[in-house]
């Protein structure tokens, strides 16, 4: 079973694919899809869609787990994030992946046991849990945390399907 975790963003989208080998989850690939912040949003959305579609084609995950983020301070940022999540979800659904959503609190609790953990604390735990020798970018470690959240929360890999 391969799980693709996504930390969505309109400028930087983190991704990470993990797979269970024996009784250990191992990272297969991770990184960030970066878009030019000076490009029109429509171009960035296309880049995000195409980037994730390529990752799915190369890594062939069974499941996509995505962070369900809520912004209440800036409506414009929330809209852009919603658009990004939309194209990410579209790419997953078109590829036939099962889709699951988790809140930041659920992800942090699953990985660090502390719902208010910082990005750096999440990164440190990801390094320990996945036995990484080098620090992944923060957005990639967040994406790996989303994937591990699904793995830990759904030991039978069934759970809260996204309502999208």
Residue 159, token pair as written in the block: 């759970």
**101, 120, 139, 142: the active-site residue:** 139
Contacts of 66 (CB under 8 A, 6+ apart): 5, 6, 8, 85, 88, 89, 92, 99, 100, 101, 102, 146, 162
Measure the CA–CA gap between 130 and 151, rounded to whole angstroms. 12
> Which residue in the list 23, 47, 67, 101 is annotated as catalytic?
67
Task: Please indicate whether residue 139 is annotated as part of the active site.
Answer: yes
142 is catalytic: no
**Bridge-partner residues for 102, per DSSP?**
67
Which segments of 12-74 does DSSP mark as H helices, in order?
41-59
C-alpha–C-alpha distance, residues 69 and 23, integer Å: 30
Residues taking part in catalysis: 7, 67, 139
């Amino acid at each position: 079973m391969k799980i693709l975790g996504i930390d969505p963003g309109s400028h930087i989208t983190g991704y990470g694919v993990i797979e269970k080998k024996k009784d250990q989850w191992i990272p297969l690939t991770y990184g960030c899809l970066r878009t030019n912040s000076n490009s029109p949003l429509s171009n960035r959305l296309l880049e995000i869609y195409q980037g994730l579609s390529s990752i799915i084609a190369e890594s062939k995950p069974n499941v996509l787990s995505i962070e369900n983020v809520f912004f209440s301070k800036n409506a414009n940022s929330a809209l852009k994030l919603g658009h990004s999540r939309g194209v990410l979800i579209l790419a997953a659904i078109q590829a036939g992946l099962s889709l699951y959503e988790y809140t930041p609190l659920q992800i942090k609790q699953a990985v660090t046991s502390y719902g208010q953990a910082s990005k750096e604390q999440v990164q440190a735990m990801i390094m320990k849990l996945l036995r990484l020798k080098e620090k992944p970018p923060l957005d990639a470690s967040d994406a790996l945390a989303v994937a591990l959240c699904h793995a830990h929360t759904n030991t039978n890999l069934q759970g809260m399907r996204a309502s999208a």
